[in-house]
Amino acid sequence: MAFKLEYYCFDFDDNILHMDTALHMEKRESSEWKKIKISAEEFVHLKEHPSYRPVNNNWNECFIEFSDHGKRKDSAFVDDIKKALTKKRFGPSFDDFIQCLIEARIFAIITARSHKSKTIRKGVEYIIDNVLTDDQKTLMKKNIRRFRKHFKKSRTNNLIRSYLDNCEYIGVSSPDFEILLNRNSINIIDTPSAKMLAFRMFVKKVRSFSKRDIQIGFSDDDHKNIRSIKKVINALEKDYPKIDFNVFHAYEGEKKDVT
């Protein structure tokens, strides 16, 4: 019996976990702008509100904690994952992500964060080490052996590392992604466009693993990103008729299939 090849793309904040990472904003009260901190969850609702703006009108300062350049450097992402797990602040796609890991499905984290790829991978490794049970890790390794003929060869003999070497960790506001854009002379103007490109790249990559019928899922909490991904899928379906695409909108604690 042939095994079904399934691949997944996950946004992280408010999709896998509800993180406490603070955004630095200013709120207009009467005629004054006062500095405040809000969560990513609140930002989805307030980012276009006329009474809110980035601190000092600088988006880099606003999102400094979502990068490796804040006070906590590259430990910020894992630190906030630890806090979210301790508080059990699981997002709508958390269980699906855990199942994806157990089943050793190749995945991509596609987030608006500015962390480097290795920083995001450390967060995934923390989840594997501290959330999965011993039995789940054993099953994960069994599935890696089952599917690894469909992966690219890794330089390590460690099963879990070899699996993670084949996955993608993409912060579309990161220096890593900016280098890729510059190298290919690509100009991206906003997060939805950047996620569209990252998704296209992931589809092309996993299509190279196998020519069989495959399934690719994408989940995100932002409706603009969902709309953009659905748009790019309409184009991709013409080039990849053997790929079954599924899109999920994680919103207000629920995940809906909006394919």
- Per the domain annotation, does 168 fall within a domain? yes
Number of structural domains in the chain: 1
DSSP string, 101-132: HHTT--EEEEES----HHHHHHHHHHHHHHHS
What phi and psi values does residue 78 have, to the nearest 5 degrees? Answer: -65, -40
Residue pLDDT, tens place only, 145-191:
988 887 877 777 899 999 999 999 999 999 899 998 888 888 887 99
Residue pLDDT, tens place only, 212-257:
899 999 999 999 999 999 999 999 999 999 999 999 999 877 889 8
The mean predicted confidence, pLDDT, of the chain is: 92
The model carries a pTM of: 0.90
Percentage with pLDDT > 70 across the chain: 98
Give the tokens for residue 154: 């890794």
Amino acid at 93: S
- Per the domain annotation, does 64 fall within a domain? no
**Residue keyed to tokens 């509100």:** 49
Going by C-alpha positions, the residue among 110, 97, 107 that lies closest to residue 228 is 110
- Compute the distance between CA of residue 236 and CA of residue 200 in angstroms, rounded to an integer: 8
- Per the domain annotation, does 219 fall within a domain? yes
The CA radius of gyration of the chain, in Å to the nearest whole number, is 19
At 154 the pLDDT is 76
- Per the domain annotation, does 173 fall within a domain? yes
At 187 the pLDDT is 84
- Per the domain annotation, does 57 fall within a domain? no
Kindly tell me if the per-residue pLDDT of 1 is higher than 50.
Answer: no
Neighbouring residues of 8: CB distance < 8 A, sequence distance ≥ 6: 96, 97, 100, 105, 106, 107, 108, 216, 217, 218, 219
Residue pLDDT, tens place only, 189-200:
799 999 999 999
Residue pLDDT, tens place only, 38-92:
987 788 788 889 999 999 999 889 999 999 998 999 999 999 999 999 999 999 9
- Per the domain annotation, does 65 fall within a domain? no
Domain span at 153: 5-18+90-257
At 142 the pLDDT is 95
- Per the domain annotation, does 74 fall within a domain? no
SS3 of 182-205: HHCCCCCCCHHHHHHHHHHHHHHH
- Per the domain annotation, does 33 fall within a domain? no
